Structure 1
């Protein structure tokens, strides 16, 4: 049976819906005002074991696996609660569309998909809830990315330039030992000892990397053996990128202390992409925009642009005038400077810029937005890329930035939450274990 895109996430990362409470059920954890039942942990653990039946020997003992699953369920509940409190919702029609899409990708009817998904005891309602929860988490992560992650045009240009040289791609896997926010010296020392112990077992051949990741890693990909997939160098955190290029297949880097804790990184495979051959001249420019709804007939806007041009021609500092007088919110704080762009990328002023010499200043140019003055600062040869290629490069860089930032966000969320993990007898793990009183002396 094929692994469904959503169901694989649901099973392996424990995105499962609560199982119906039964008289024999008990609470595994209290998460703020919510609870996680032991039946949920059991169902998610059974799913993971079934999904990994071919590599059962690599799985950790069941008690450790259940603890990993419980932690993932805790993180799921915290994220869902945050998404719901932010007013995010997933409609039934969106779930219908997702279910139909998964079925189509696996050459199944919707009824066949539901039948296969529910054959291990999950109800159809729980299956749909799983899909809805995953859609909601994706929506929250996207909203976080849109509000937090910024990728500049120069970063996109640099990535495309690297790709034009025949970019190398790296298949990576990692093992993560996380540290809490504001970790104490003792917590850091314990984390260091744990990661050093894992590395020692790997070096001695007592464990392979996949088994070690599944058993010991705190990373969200632990139950995938730490697999990170194929990545370009631009998608690799800077702490690793410089050393990665000199590693050989099979090498393990670390331990390295990063933003989330300690990490080991394995280079599984390397492959080369063909070099891109098309290049184009790119220009670095400054601009001042005087906005106008009707530039052809707006004498005041034109007069202001001409006055600014005269001051610039007389030696006034372009950056200072841009900061004080430009109406282009995106560039004025940077002294009017734009990222490297081709002639086409500069739109209506592109032909004028191409005709200037470096450090040349244009006369006011009438555009749809108003009157523009540009100064050409320099040129270079860059990669000729379509909008789609630039979007792909921007997405690649954004994913790398999001991975680091979102992980910190989740750790902060976990640290701020009330989480009470319960023992099998119902007592809290944060409370001391009761010990029997000593037997009376004879």
Structure 2
């Protein structure tokens, strides 16, 4: 299921993948099976295309039920995606992305129009509030600095505010027109609770997904588009950014985050891919009924089992830095001396004295969660006994550090999701399925003119 979240959690298109928002456990949404023939269409296998599509004549602007989408609108939204990739998108990729951005802007326009037709008004104050949160939470900048930042990237505050408005309007429309008519029975919830208890100890996965639908006559084109997106992500592009801009699921607003799911909750092809992935890996395109998905394995855990990585650690850090101009050889020698001195530390009580003797700085932190440490450090620290120091780590630029484990509080047994959480999950799943159909109908009825 592609979860609908509160508009207050809207994130900018190029937020880092590490900022993917947590969601309640959910299932991946599917659409109608491609194997169903298109009733009423009679397309011959052997055909001739009369005329050619000239890209110099058909420009990336459109009129959607009377509302204009300009080339500037497309360019500013595209700039957000390019910024997410550090400006490294190739000219060929830009052309493809420009077409996809235009399609997304058309959908966004249809959603805003439908909300307004239902007398749903998103006030400028609401948009500004979310925009300010984006600036402060993701960039820790004041609004003026953030505005300048967007302009230097070739974008603008207007395009981001327009995206925020679309997300707020569509979310509110679904809550008004669809959510009240979704019914979930107590028996369904209790059945899921029973299955969770029966599955205790088995693995579940937190997955990010970029989903794109594919009509039978567009399968190859969509698959190629997905492969291009995957290449950009593997080259350092933000998964969150691509999910927000291109995923056709409502979880686009959360950077594609599906939340915690078990393989049984996913379509077979996605389940088979998920169980073979490593945390941090991105794979795709994976064919699913109705389209393709790119998967990102954010994390994994054991159902209703305490995750040892949630242990709260008390750590003491000793660090040395290198003067400007220090060579690699000099730094290596100094780091070796530092390693010898710190490995002889006998418990945290002796750390301060050792730090003074070797000229190291010392920092204490009693509330460090193991899983919040960088990946390479997690296994190292997890295997330390109380009072032991890690191997030195760092660089010439950043200095060298060791961590000493002073204490560890292991997590208690994980609790099952509450009745209300599961109820909300099922409701969201059904709302999202209806939302796909709703948007499909809006596209079908739209009058769209291209210039």
TM-score normalized with structure 1 length: 0.50
Structure of greater Rg: 1
TM-score normalized with structure 2 length: 0.49
More RCO (CA 8 Å, sep 6+): 2
